[in-house]
Amino acid sequence: MDSITQPVTPDFSSTSFIYFDLDDTLIDHKKAQDRAMVDVWTQYPLLQKVEPLVFASEYAASNHRLWEAYRNNEVSQHELRRLRLEETFNRLNISSLDWREVDKVYMDCYSRHWDWIPEAREAFIRISEHYPVGIMTNGFTFVQKKKFEHFSLNRYTRHLIISEEAGHLKPDTRIFDFAAEKAGCRPGELLYVGDSYSSDVTGGARSGWKTAWFNRSGLNPEPNLADFAFSDYGQLLGSLQKTMQSEAR
């Protein structure tokens, strides 16, 4: 059974505002991160004791774990950035590297590899022509605002909600409540589009929002709280097509 096929077409007729997640929903964060780690690997001979993909994989594992800790207020932003590199170096038995220097190199490389998810730009712009839209993202303000500027997202969006500024990270319902207030909408009038089941779907559902889950991996959680799941943006456009045709916004 195809886990991303919905048996019933979702009813988005009450939707008045659509928020999108940013990383790995609109912008391909994972690809940029992996390519940046390979760039870092090429600049430091000490790192070349291991294969570049091993280095990238170890970093990704530490980064994921520490983001969970950051979400739970167990580490600070500074500690997250330090520990994700120091832990990686330690596990690979690499010494004598200054995490601050490597972090700077990584961030420079990371920004050079930013790109849209395939089909996301066209779909996002088209949806913004029919609905007021916004971005709500977990992340560091200085990084996410650079992405916002780089992709000229202010041309299409009403609001940019960043967890660091809002004071809460998804799936905390308080950031969804904050975003709803900014949009001037009741929870049932809001749709959230995101790739993370734990952060985006769970947080949105618990906040009374409708959710559209960008499920490229074909995951099949039980229970599935998403109102709609899609693996390409044509499916999302199709789910909104009836409303987009009937609404003149």
- Rounded to 5°, the CA angle 192-197-200 comes to 30
Average pLDDT, integer, range 69-81? 93
Tell me 189's DSSP state: G
Tally of structural domains, the chain:
2
Residues 6+ apart with CB under 8 A from 185: 16, 17
140-166 pLDDT, tens digit per residue, is 999 999 999 999 999 999 999 999 999
Asked if the structure places residue 5 within a domain, the reply is no
10-22 pLDDT, tens digit per residue, is 889 999 999 999 9
The answer to whether the peptide bond before residue 187 is cis (omega within 30 degrees of 0) is no
User: What share of the chain in percent tops pLDDT 90?
Assistant: 84
Q: Is the pLDDT of residue 222 over 70?
A: yes
The maximal CA–CA distance of the chain, rounded, in angstroms, is 62
Distance CA 60, CA 46 (A): 19
Which strand ranges, in their side-by-side order, compose the sheet holding 157-162?
A: 157-162, 133-137, 17-20, 190-194, 210-214, 228-230
State the residue range of the domain holding 85: 29-112
Is residue 164 located within the same domain as residue 231? yes
Least reliable range by pLDDT among 59-63, 111-115, 116-120, 238-242: 238-242
pLDDT of residue 77: 93
Is residue 45 located within the same domain as residue 108? yes
